[in-house]
């Protein structure tokens, strides 16, 4: 039996540390599982006192320590200046730069039947948050050249960037069926938190170790945490538009009080039907079973869906988030009356600016005045990148041919392209590129995609056109 004596905000964290210490002694395997797979991981089922802690205060306590590195430039200025120059050299793309400088945002390569015109979306590629995250991770490696360094997840959803970190000898913490192998992290080592953030349980576990933490969490993700803090304080349940297994949603859920995560409009409609108690709606038992991986511990739909607040994974499709908010607001008004609308429902815009402007740009490319000229659109970015996936959905929804590829090697010398579909499946399309005539191709990329990766993709297309045997 462990007793943690104290009161106020400090008592729950102390109890949690005692609980973790006992877990390490009692069951090493359980500690490995503590911050692993889904939202409802083993560590989430902690004591009621721990679960009820002021999570915002706990975050601030952890982040306020000298061993916790965060913010714009936590290391020596010369290190950051040097990293900025190295990033510029590593991630630039010549063809991309030419399109950016062109008034029409295009570039033409080849002549006659071998000609290809690339047209770049007005907003695309690296966002400020991703750029910042990479700089912090790279600067950490330069600041601690002799220390063992780990990262709790992919830094961002881009294979080229994560491979770069591996080349820098940054060790990705192993994931197993039981969870992440934090037992491989030793005192005195350095641990990087990715752009998506880390769960509060992970932050507490690392705090209990003698490690230096480098936090590269995107400020837009932190903004969502502030929103769910407000909901918790107001005794609202957070209804999050996101994917429950996504790293960002896991982190945000860990900062919330009561929550439920819905991935799309279809699931939101189920929750709205339950709120209004429409005929044929899910029963309590059915709702709890279906959403068992996407709800807080002890979730009671009758109680916790009376006062709600909308939040989201920052990379979701903004129009869908807004539509979900309107749907659930209408459900609350229908059930409890318009006079209680503000009491029972709240919503804040937590879609990041970078996600929004890239979605607007691909919409304009798909539906704008020059859209008819585009024979296809190449969407470049990680296959597990949520924001890139939504960039694919927009043109496909409007009937445009679009291919989501994660690297240049998806385009083969035999004129095949291996690409991710909207439903997440990956397939290979043959003869995707017309080799006997000129073509105009739209180009965009996800917020975690370097220009250098886009450059490699465009070079592949140019090579195919150049070597075409029957071009006129």
- Assess contact for 413 and 464: CB atoms under 8 A: yes
Tokens of 434: 């017309």
Find the radius of gyration of the CA atoms of the chain. 24
SS3 6: coil
CA dist 123 and 205 (Å) reads: 39
Q: Give the DSSP H/E element, type plus range, for residue 454.
A: helix 451-466
Paired with 427 in beta bridges are: 419
CA dist 190 and 142 (Å) reads: 12
Give the residue from 418, 407, 403 showing the smallest Cα distance to 382: 407
- Residue 461 contacts by C-beta under 8 Å, 6 or more apart in sequence? 116, 118, 378, 411, 433, 441
- Assess contact for 437 and 114: CB atoms under 8 A: no
- Residue 414 contacts by C-beta under 8 Å, 6 or more apart in sequence? 430
Q: What is the DSSP letter of 178?
A: T
Q: Which of 248, 270, 320, 427 is catalytic?
A: 248
SS3 36: coil
Distances (CA, A) of 382 to 160, 413, 444: 9, 21, 13
- Assess contact for 39 and 294: CB atoms under 8 A: yes
Paired with 175 in beta bridges are: 180
CA dist 275 and 432 (Å) reads: 47
- Assess contact for 137 and 178: CB atoms under 8 A: no
DSSP letters for 233-294: HTTPEEEEES-TTSHHHHHHHHH-SSEEEE-SHHHHHHHHHHHHT-TTPPPHHHHHHHTTTS
141-155 burial, b if ≥16 CB within 10 A, otherwise e? bbbbeeebbbbbbbb
Alpha-helical runs (H) found in 5-54: 11-26, 28-32, 48-51
* Distance between start and end Cα atoms, the chain: 82
Is residue 248 annotated as a catalytic residue, yes or no?
yes
Paired with 308 in beta bridges are: 237, 345
- Assess contact for 83 and 139: CB atoms under 8 A: yes
* Residues classed as catalytic: 248
């Amino acid at each position: 039996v462990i007793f943690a004596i104290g009161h106020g905000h400090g008592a729950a964290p102390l109890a949690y540390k005692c609980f973790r210490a006992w877990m390490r002694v009692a069951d090493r395997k359980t500690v490995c599982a503590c911050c692993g797979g889904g939202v409802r991981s083993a560590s989430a089922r902690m004591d009621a006192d721990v679960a009820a802690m002021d999570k915002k205060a706990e975050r601030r306590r952890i982040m306020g320590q000298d061993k916790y590195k965060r913010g714009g430039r936590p290391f020596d200025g010369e290190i950051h200046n040097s990293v900025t120059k190295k990033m510029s050299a590593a991630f630039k793309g010549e063809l991309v730069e030419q399109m950016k400088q062109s008034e029409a945002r295009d570039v033409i390569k080849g002549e006659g039947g071998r000609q290809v015109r690339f047209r770049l979306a007005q907003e695309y590629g690296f966002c400020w948050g991703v750029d910042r995250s990479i700089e912090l991770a790279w600067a950490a490696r330069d600041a601690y050249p002799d220390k063992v360094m780990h990262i709790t997840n992919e830094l961002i959803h881009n294979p080229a960037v994560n491979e770069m970190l591996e080349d820098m000898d940054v060790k990705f913490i192993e994931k197993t069926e039981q969870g992440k192998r934090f037992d491989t992290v030793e005192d005195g080592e350095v641990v990087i938190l990715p752009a998506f953030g880390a769960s509060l349980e992970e932050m507490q576990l690392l705090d209990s170790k003698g490690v230096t933490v480098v936090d590269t969490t995107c400020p837009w993700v932190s903004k969502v945490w502030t929103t769910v803090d407000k909901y918790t304080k107001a005794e609202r349940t957070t209804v999050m538009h996101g994917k429950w297994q996504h790293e960002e949603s896991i982190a945000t859920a860990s900062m919330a009080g009561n929550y439920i995560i819905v991935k799309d409009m279809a699931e939101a409609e189920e929750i709205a039907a339950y709120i209004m108690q429409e005929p044929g709606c899910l029963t309590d038992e059915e709702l709890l079973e279906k959403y068992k991986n996407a709800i807080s511990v002890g979730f009671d739909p009758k109680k916790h869906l009376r006062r709600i607040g909308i939040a989201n994974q920052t990379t979701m499709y903004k129009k869908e988030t807004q539509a979900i908010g309107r749907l659930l607001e209408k459900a609350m008004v229908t059930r409890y009356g318009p006079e209680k609308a503000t009491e029972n429902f709240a919503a804040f815009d937590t879609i990041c600016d970078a996600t929004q402007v890239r979605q607007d740009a691909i919409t304009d490319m798909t539906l704008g005045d020059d859209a008819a000229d585009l024979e296809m659109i190449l969407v470049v970015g990680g296959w597990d990148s949520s924001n890139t996936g939504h960039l694919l959905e927009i043109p496909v929804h409007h009937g445009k041919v679009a291919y989501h590829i994660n690297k240049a090697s998806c385009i083969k010398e035999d004129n095949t392209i291996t690409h991710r579909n909207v439903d997440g499946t990956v397939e290979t399309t043959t003869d995707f590129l017309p080799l006997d005539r000129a073509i105009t191709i739209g180009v965009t990329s996800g917020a975690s995609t370097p220009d250098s990766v886009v450059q490699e993709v465009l070079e592949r297309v140019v090579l195919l056109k150049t070597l075409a045997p029957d071009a006129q």
